[in-house]
Amino acid sequence: MADEPIKTASSDAPAPRSDSGPREGGSSGPREGSSGPRGPRPAGRPGSGPGGPREGGRKFFRRKKVCKFCVEKIDGINYKDVRLLSAFVAESGKIVPRRLTGVCTPHQRRLADAIKQARNIALLPFGGR
């Protein structure tokens, strides 16, 4: 009796598998009781994230981003204006996309060209700092 291991119910132990056959290469199709490849859709309101609905019932309001160049009526983007251009370059050296900066499409194109010119004459770095 002293040689037998003590059996305890633990949630750490894996559940015993009851395989009906060999499983190679993943599942053979949708499981029973699921409505799709990732299971049933969670119930909830639109906008309620994985943590559930927000406390207080307030909705997050995101202000629409406006183009800095259009607002300030800046026509030409000069490649020599390093302080302006460096605001649109990430720390890693990448050009920040317009969905993050809010710059309109024509100004983003001119901005990218100016940043590339400034890089070529060593006013801005190609890579991170």
Residue 71: pLDDT band with limits 50, 70, 90: very high
Q: What is the pTM of this model?
A: 0.53
Element counts in the chain: helices (H) and strands (E): 4, 0
Amino acid at site 85:
L
Per CATH, the homologous superfamily of domain 68-120 is: Ribosomal protein S18 (4.10.640.10)
The per-residue pLDDT for range 12-37, each reduced to its tens digit, is 556 666 555 555 555 555 555 555 56
Using alpha carbons only, how large is the chain's radius of gyration in Å?
A: 28
